[in-house]
């Protein structure tokens, strides 16, 4: 199903390989420029999950272990009861080694991989319906709020859709060039290290596509067996980790990496069938639809509600594109159907993820947005083919929305992101780090919900760039200086009058980070109190400076 334009001179542009490459290169360059503009902020601050990924990446870069000392794990312990995928952190390592540890260097991998995803988006659009449809789909990806927002910060699960898209492109190309087919299996296997949801979604996709391709004689049994073995080899460590966790068995250390077991994991509760209820099933269906085709999950980190993940107007073109595909599918040549079958299987997989995963959010269902964009692009191409003059108003509407989205992102949303990416807390930690002291007493939970000290600790480790061996107690050296042991130097607790009195009596030089409620415990005559956005306060004893 190739969409072409009516005018001969535009058809000549279509046929020119050089002009095609130039147009795609210019579009990708534009995508890189607008994503790299003021890169690092917004979002202003650091999200807890990207801080966690970055801290473990730094430990891997320094020592080949996560921050707990586990050697090259295939899955991170992360929040202990709530684990994290490893692929993004491994991708951060070369950037940290080359550029040092910073918000920019730890966010760069997502920028690079997202832009590679855009290239793959064009290639898949081209495989489906030709060059112009590929370019329409590429432009939709470039200006998509979902794609733009996730490319500018590092969240492990946001790697999944890009790796999967690259795998699908290789799969379709591999039907003609078999080495690419096997390379696609490597990429499908890596999906499980990008996001745990891939463990129960990618195998289903591969099963459906394999049955179809085998029946159509696009692959034979030997090729299918080779693909299965290659995929299994790649995913086996991850699957073993999940199996050991499920069975309550200890992890396995190999000479190259560690297959951990998480006996206190609560990740199983994220899957509907682990604790099935019809009410939860219905909620998942509703959330899947509203998150994908509505206003997203309405969280500041994932969505600008005014526009939705892919713009609300794309919903209309998605319906047109889907109807167009289904109507023409039977009339297509057999080889033309292959990418469409993969696309529809991908869309079905995205819906499966939404139905099966509790508490549907944009990041949990991110695998569905590429097929929505692609089918929407096919809908736009179909409309333009039918009524060529529609290209002008469609381009104008999307152009205006993209400009409005950019204005909001760098304006009101950027300022709002300070709160949700803990910028006041990060700035307090940064300022406290400049003060020479014996110990820190740090407000434990910047969310203000008294959920324990884990969040405060990981943001401190990120901001102070805590050395993994110092954290583990192997060494007392941090930044080339010998200090008190980590557990004696860093205290994450709500400060009391008794704590302050004890520290005064000990003569120690202590720096406190407190909230507005605890600020009243300090006498301004005795303590220097520095306000950070009137949200957090850095406090030090004037007499011990």
Average pLDDT of span 453-464: 91
Alpha-carbon separation of residue 26 from 33, 53, 135, 222 (angstroms): 10, 32, 11, 42
80 three-class SS: coil
Average pLDDT of span 398-405: 95
Beta-bridged to residue 357, according to DSSP, are: 271
Instruction: Please tell me the distance from the alpha carbon of residue 386 to that of residue 373, in angstroms, as a whole number.
Output: 20
CB 201 within 8 A of CB 353: yes
Nearest Cα neighbor of 362 from 101, 147, 525 is 147
How much is the pLDDT for 423? 94
**Mean pLDDT for the chain overall:** 90
55 three-class SS: helix
Torsion of CA 495, 499, 505, 509, to 10 degrees: -40
Pairing of strands 510-515, 477-478: unpaired
Between 373 and 508, the more confident residue is 373
**pLDDT tens digits, one per residue of 302-336:** 888 899 999 999 999 999 999 999 998 888 888 88
How much is the pLDDT for 6? 54
Residue that the structure tokens 């899947």 belong to: 288
Average pLDDT of span 520-534: 90
Give the sign of the dihedral formed by CA 96, CA 100, CA 101, CA 103.
negative
Alpha-carbon separation of residue 501 from 182, 340, 491 (angstroms): 66, 70, 16
Q: Is the pLDDT of residue 277 over 80?
A: no
Q: Is the pLDDT of residue 10 over 80?
A: no
Average pLDDT of span 358-375: 91
Instruction: Please tell me the distance from the alpha carbon of residue 117 to that of residue 125, in angstroms, as a whole number.
Output: 12
Alpha-carbon separation of residue 375 from 124, 291, 346 (angstroms): 11, 17, 11
Q: Is the pLDDT of residue 486 over 60?
A: yes
Residue 116 CB partners (closer than 8 Å, separation 6+): 162, 166
Nearest Cα neighbor of 134 from 263, 279, 1 is 1
Tokens of 191: 């999906």
What are phi and psi for residue 48, nearest 5 degrees? -60, -35
């Amino acid at each position: 199903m190739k969409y072409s334009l009516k005018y001969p001179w535009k058809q000549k542009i279509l046929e020119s390989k050089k002009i095609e490459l130039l147009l795609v290169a210019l579009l990708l360059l534009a995508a890189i420029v607008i994503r790299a503009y003021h890169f690092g902020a917004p979002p202003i601050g650091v999200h807890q999950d990207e801080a966690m990924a970055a801290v473990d990446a730094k430990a891997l870069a320094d020592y080949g272990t996560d921050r707990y000392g586990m050697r090259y794990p295939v899955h991170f312990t992360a929040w202990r009861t709530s684990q994290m995928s490893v692929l993004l952190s491994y991708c951060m390592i070369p950037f940290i080694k080359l550029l040092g540890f910073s918000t920019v260097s730890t966010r760069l991998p997502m920028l690079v991989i997202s832009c590679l995803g855009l290239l793959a988006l064009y290639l898949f659009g081209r495989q489906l319906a030709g060059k112009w449809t590929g370019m329409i789909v590429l432009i939709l990806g470039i200006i998509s709020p979902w794609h733009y927002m996730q490319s500018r910060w590092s969240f492990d699960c946001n790697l999944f859709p890009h790796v999967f898209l690259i795998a699908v492109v290789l799969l379709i190309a591999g039907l003609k060039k078999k080495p690419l087919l096997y390379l696609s299996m490597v990429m499908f296997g890596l999906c499980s290290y990008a996001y745990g949801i891939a463990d129960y979604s990618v195998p289903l996709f591969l099963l459906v596509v394999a049955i179809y391709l085998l029946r159509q004689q696009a692959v034979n049994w030997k090729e299918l067996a080779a693909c299965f073995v290659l995929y299994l080899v790649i995913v086996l460590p991850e699957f073993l980790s999940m199996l050991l966790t499920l069975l309550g068995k200890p992890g396995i250390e190999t000479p190259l990496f560690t297959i951990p077991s998480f006996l206190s994991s609560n990740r199983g509760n994220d899957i509907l069938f682990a604790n099935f209820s019809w009410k939860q099933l219905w909620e998942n269906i509703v959330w899947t639809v509203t998150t994908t085709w509505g206003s997203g999950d309405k969280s500041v980190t994932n969505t600008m509600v005014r526009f939705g993940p892919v713009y609300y107007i794309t919903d209309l073109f998605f319906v047109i594109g889907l109807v167009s595909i289904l109507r023409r599918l039977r009339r297509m040549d057999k080889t033309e159907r292959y990418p469409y079958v993969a696309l529809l299987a991908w869309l079905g997989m995205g819906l499966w993820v939404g139905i099966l995963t509790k508490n549907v959010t944009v990041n949990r269902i991110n695998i569905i947005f590429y097929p929505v964009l692609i089918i929407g692009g096919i809908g736009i191409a179909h409309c333009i083919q039918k009524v060529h003059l529609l290209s002008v108003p469609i381009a104008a509407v999307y152009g205006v929305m993209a400009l409005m989205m950019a204005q909001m992102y760098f304006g009101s949303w950027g300022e709002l992101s300070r709160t949700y990416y803990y910028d006041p807390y990060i700035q307090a930690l940064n300022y406290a780090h400049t003060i020479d002291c014996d110990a820190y007493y740090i407000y434990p939970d910047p969310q203000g919900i008294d959920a324990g000290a884990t969040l405060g600790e990981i943001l401190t480790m990120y901001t102070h760039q805590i050395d993994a061996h110092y954290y583990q107690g192997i060494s007392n050296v941090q930044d080339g200086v010998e200090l008190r042991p980590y557990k004696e130097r860093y205290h994450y607790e709500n400060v009391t009058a008794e704590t302050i009195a004890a520290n005064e009596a000990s003569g120690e030089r202590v720096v406190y980070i407190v909230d507005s409620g605890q600020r009243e415990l300090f006498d301004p005559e005795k303590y220097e109190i520095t306000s950070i956005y009137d949200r957090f306060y850095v406090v030090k004893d004037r007499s011990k400076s």
